[in-house]
């Protein structure tokens, strides 16, 4: 290999470094500003230094509500949305393998929900609930709003998974006397499980940080993104940044867990080489 690199390499490397800086400096600023002393403010320069002061503040009751409650709501909502989305998208994916009548229209109808402006969907759901005389809530209207966002994504991925899925596994299972249910749980499900884990983490993330669609239908209690937004207009302390740091940490842990789970699962079912 040639040790001496051309000028182009250094120029491009510098450009890439700038790009990475652009990508991560907002996040870095927030991390850094988290660790200020009690006199800390929202902008640089840092005022004092404390490792835990503002992180601790996150768990105190705030003027507009509290983070902890919002976090648990968002977590619960994310998990419910994830499970429901997986159920709906896998069932839909299985159905779409047999080209039924109206499959195409249904496909476009599902995807359309990705294109319609989010705020309109939120508004629409809000209006429907009003017409029906129902109270909007994060676990009812909010859940529905999230699923208009997660299901189309998950559905598209599931279609891709089943496109690559070798149908002879199912034929072999049926040939050996497996019912449809047994074929699904014994053969299809274990084989697509690593991919489902990926979809799960994606839909959870989509739901966990969803803002616009939730904004008009979350009811009395806020989800975490709404809570944070509320704080930016009312609260002017670095607790906001501390919260950002904590949720980022939470996401990183989640992603690491997902990667670990994915590789553990895929190792268990490596495709045989012929």
Partner 1 sequence: MDSSFSTSTSTAPDAGVLAADASVSQELKQELSAHSAGVALRGVTKKYGNGFVAVENVDLDIPAGSYCCLLGPSGCGKTTTLRMVAGHESITKGDILIGDTRVNDLPPTKRNTAMMFQNYALFPHKTVWQNVEFGLRMKGVEKRERDRRVGEVIDVVGLTRFADRKPAMLSGGQQQRVALARALVTRPAVLMLDEPLSALDENLRVKTRSELRRLQKQFGMTFIQVTHGQDEAFALSDQIVVMDHGRVDQVGTSKEIFTTPASRFVARFVGDNNIFVGKVTAVEPSSTFGSVVTLEVDQVGRFMSRGLSASVGMTAACCVRSDRLSLLPYPPAEASAANQLVARITQIEFTGFITRVSLMVEATGDEITYKGRSYDWLSIDAQEGQLVTLTWAIEDCIFLPH
By rule CB under 8 A, what string of x and - marks binding of each residue 155-174 to partner 1? -----------x-xx-xxxx
Nearby residues of 194 by Cβ (< 8 Å), 6 or more positions away: 261, 262, 265, 266, 269
Nearby residues of 162 by Cβ (< 8 Å), 6 or more positions away: 93, 94, 96, 97, 192
Cα separation, 7 vs 13, whole angstroms = 10
Cα separation, 68 vs 66, whole angstroms = 6
- Closer to partner 1 by Cβ: residue 24 or 185: 185
Scanning 68-76, 123-131, 187-195, 213-221 for contacts with partner 1 by CB under 8 A, the matching segment is: 187-195
Residue 32 near partner 1 by CB under 8 A: no
**In whole angstroms, how close is the CB of 263 to partner 1 at the nearest point?**
15
**In whole angstroms, how close is the CB of 74 to partner 1 at the nearest point?**
34
Residue 262 near partner 1 by CB under 8 A: no
Assign 62 to helix, strand or coil.
strand
* Number of residues counted as binding partner 1 (CB under 8 A): 24
Binder to partner 1 among 37, 56, 117, 190 (CB under 8 A)? 190
- Closer to partner 1 by Cβ: residue 163 or 220: 163
Q: Which tokens is 146 given?
A: 């999230």
Instruction: DSSP letter for 4, please.
Output: S
Cis peptide bond N-terminal to 90, omega within 30: no
**In whole angstroms, how close is the CB of 181 to partner 1 at the nearest point?**
11
- Closer to partner 1 by Cβ: residue 48 or 190: 190
The number of C-alpha atoms within 13 Å of 54 and in the hemisphere containing its C-beta is 31
Cα separation, 246 vs 57, whole angstroms = 12
Residue 209 near partner 1 by CB under 8 A: no
Residue 105 near partner 1 by CB under 8 A: no
- Closer to partner 1 by Cβ: residue 166 or 234: 166
- Closer to partner 1 by Cβ: residue 168 or 220: 168
Alpha-carbon Rg for the chain, nearest whole angstrom, is 23
Which positions lie near partner 1, rule CB under 8 A? 166, 168-169, 171-179, 182, 186-187, 190-191, 268-274
């Amino acid at each position: 290999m040639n040790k001496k690199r051309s000028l182009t390499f250094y120029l491009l490397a510098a450009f890439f470094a700038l790009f990475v800086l652009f990508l991560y400096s907002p996040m870095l600023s927030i991390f850094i500003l988290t660790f200020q002393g009690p006199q800390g403010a929202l902008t640089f320069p840092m005022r004092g230094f404390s490792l835990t002061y503002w992180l601790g503040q996150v768990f105190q009751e705030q003027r507009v509500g509290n983070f902890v409650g919002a976090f648990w709501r968002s977590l619960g909502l994310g998990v419910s949305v994830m499970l429901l989305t997986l159920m709906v998208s896998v069932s839909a994916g299985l159905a779409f393998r047999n080209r039924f009548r109206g499959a195409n229209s249904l496909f476009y109808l599902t995807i359309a929900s990705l294109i319609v402006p989010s705020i309109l969907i939120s508004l629409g759901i809000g209006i429907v609930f009003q017409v029906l005389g129902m109270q909007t809530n994060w676990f009812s209207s909010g859940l529905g709003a999230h699923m208009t966002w997660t299901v189309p994504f998950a559905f598209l991925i599931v279609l891709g998974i089943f496109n690559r899925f070798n149908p002879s596994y199912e034929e072999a299972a049926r040939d050996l006397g497996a019912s449809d249910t047994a074929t699904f749980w014994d053969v299809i499900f274990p084989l697509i499980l690593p991919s489902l884990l990926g979809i799960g983490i994606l839909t959870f993330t989509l739901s966990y940080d969803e803002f616009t669609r939730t904004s008009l239908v979350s009811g009395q209690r806020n989800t975490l993104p709404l809570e944070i937004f509320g704080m930016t207009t009312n609260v002017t302390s670095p607790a906001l940044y501390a919260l950002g740091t904590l949720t980022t940490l939470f996401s990183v842990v989640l992603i690491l867990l997902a990667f670990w789970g994915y590789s553990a699962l895929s190792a268990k079912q490596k495709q045989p080489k012929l």
